[in-house]
């Protein structure tokens, strides 16, 4: 009987079947997560727009330029690339695709490092199914892009035990893009360089990561200097650090110079440090030029306050960071809804000139968010069980920390990155439940690797114990001799 020759299409079909067989569980998980994102887009239209961050991003994207505000222009660059479609709905769709991509990257790198399919799937579940990520992806905010870039950088570095020169360069470039999205990623780039140095990765790898990370940042700062006259990534770092100090600053202890004394607490009170940035009664906002014209002065005061009151500063940072681990999400500040934000209704946009400007220049269909049934009703019910509670975040970090100091220590870099992403934003401004979300996928990678390494170390120890016991049973006289006999 004559055998028909195989074709390229049949070979491709066989490869697809083998791949599906290997990753059947994750395929089902990913398809379910994609369906959830489809429900989110059907349930809330066109996208969540926040005053005033969303409209500032869209305005910068309409006339691409380095921003003078608190955020660099990395996220507006993505919006600018999507601007020809004039659709914030498309922006939300792209961000939902990024959310799925984050889950795929987590699964892929853990499988690559030897974890079973169920373990890799479990680590990807929070980012794929937690309702907070669904809400975030549906909003015109920089967070999803930031998380995608950070996870991509760590996955590239963790793909093999010893990453190559190109992998190191790619990781450096991805972290630079993350820093141009949210500047809190800058220390992560330094952390990666230290990691490569400690691991003795070699000068070429270290130089590749450093150059690939530094060049985009220097280029952006130069662009900012050309357009705005300031060689920097942002114009608000001093303001946010000053706001952090308003919860503990005591000018009798700090003894600031005359030029900075006007920045001392003036009796205005807020329930969270970040609220001082916007409080018109706060000392900084009462100065001529307000927060926009006094960033350098605010930074100088804040650094002086931290040096004078380091224990007070650390106590406030520790107290606010600990809010992460509460079972019931804490309202901080009180005016925000920390979680469970899916609701039914319509939410009008403010009648401000910037809203109309963005509507004319970016998307004429921009309007207030409205819910649609039955999709919104499903998400309102879904969000309560589909939320990663604080104690589980603590447990994941604990397991990752154990792995960071045990066995092969593969969890060390992602665990250190997760801890920094948790405490860093609190240290420079305040706690916010939004700021916790980038921690979760990175911590899940660390926790999965940590659990595998701890389990491997335990098995090895038990195996050695069993071998020693077996040797003793087989040759008790010899065991006596090895342990010193009669002394």
Where does residue 271 rank: exposed (0-12), middle (13-18), buried (19+ CB within 10 A)?
A: exposed
Give the residue-averaged pLDDT of 173-184: 97
> Where exactly are the structural domains of the chain?
24-141+343-382, 158-234, 236-325
Does 9 have pLDDT greater than 80? Answer: no
Tens digit of each residue's pLDDT (9 = 90 or more) over 407-431:
788 999 999 999 999 999 999 999 9
Under the banding of pLDDT at 50, 70 and 90, the label for residue 150 is: very high
* 170 pLDDT more than 90: yes
Task: Please tell me what DSSP assigns to residue 40.
Answer: H
Close Cβ partners of 248 (under 8 Å, ≥ 6 residues apart): 305, 309, 312, 313, 315, 316
Average pLDDT over residues 210-226: 96
Does the bond joining 46 to the residue before it have cis omega, within 30 degrees of 0?
A: yes
Smallest CA-to-CA distance from 388 within 344, 336, 432, 444 is with 444
Residue 155: name the closest of 113, 119, 117 by CA.
113
SS3 372: coil
More confident residue, 105 or 473: 105
Q: Which pTM does this prediction carry? A: 0.91
């Amino acid at each position: 009987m004559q055998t028909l020759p195989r074709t390229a299409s049949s070979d491709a079909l066989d490869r697809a079947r083998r791949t599906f067989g290997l990753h059947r569980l994750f395929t089902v998980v990913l398809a379910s997560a994609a369906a959830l994102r489809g429900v989110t887009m059907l349930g809330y239209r066109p996208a969540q727009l926040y005053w005033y961050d969303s409209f500032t991003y869209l305005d910068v994207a309409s006339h691409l330029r380095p921003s003078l505000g608190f955020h660099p222009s990395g996220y507006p660059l993505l919006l600018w690339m999507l601007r020809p479609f004039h659709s914030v709905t498309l922006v939300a769709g792209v961000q939902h695709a990024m959310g799925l991509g984050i889950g795929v990257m987590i699964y892929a790198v853990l499988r690559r490092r030897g974890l079973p399919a169920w373990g890799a799937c479990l680590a990807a579940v929070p980012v794929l199914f937690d309702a907070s990520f669904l809400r975030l992806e549906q909003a015109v905010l920089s967070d999803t892009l930031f998380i995608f870039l950070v996870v991509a950088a760590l996955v590239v570095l963790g793909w093999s035990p010893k990453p190559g020169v190109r992998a190191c360069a790619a990781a450096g470039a991805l972290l630079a893009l993350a820093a141009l999205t949210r500047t809190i990623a800058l220390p992560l780039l330094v952390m990666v360089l230290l990691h490569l140095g400690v691991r003795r990765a070699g000068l070429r790898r270290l130089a590749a990561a450093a150059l690939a990370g530094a060049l985009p940042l220097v280029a952006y700062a130069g662009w900012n200097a050309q357009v705005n006259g300031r060689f920097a990534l942002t114009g608000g770092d001093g303001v946010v650090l000053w706001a952090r100090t308003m919860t503990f600053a005591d000018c009798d202890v700090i003894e600031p110079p005359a030029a900075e004394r006007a920045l001392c607490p003036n009796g205005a009170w807020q329930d969270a440090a970040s609220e001082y940035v916007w409080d018109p009664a706060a000392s900084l906002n009462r100065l001529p030029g307000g927060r926009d014209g006094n960033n350098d002065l605010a930074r100088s005061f804040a650094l002086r306050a931290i040096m004078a009151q380091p224990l007070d500063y650390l106590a406030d940072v520790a107290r606010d960071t600990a809010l992460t681990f509460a079972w019931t999400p804490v309202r901080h500040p009180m005016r925000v809804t920390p979680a469970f934000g899916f609701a039914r209704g319509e939410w009008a946009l403010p009648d401000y000139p910037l809203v109309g400007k963005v509507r004319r220049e970016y998307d004429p269909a921009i309007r207030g968010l409205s819910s649609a049934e039955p999709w919104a009703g499903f998400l309102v019910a879904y969000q309560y069980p589909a939320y990663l509670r604080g104690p589980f975040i603590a447990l994941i970090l604990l397991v990752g920390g154990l792995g960071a100091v045990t066995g092969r220590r593969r969890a060390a870099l992602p665990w250190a990155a997760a801890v920094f992403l948790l405490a860093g934003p609190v240290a420079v401004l305040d706690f916010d439940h939004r700021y916790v979300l980038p921690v979760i996928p990175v911590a899940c990678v660390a926790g999965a690797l940590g659990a595998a390494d701890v389990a491997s170390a335990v098995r090895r120890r038990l195996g050695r114990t069993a071998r020693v016991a077996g040797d003793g049973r087989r040759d008790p006289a010899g065991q006596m001799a090895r342990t010193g006999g009669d002394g």
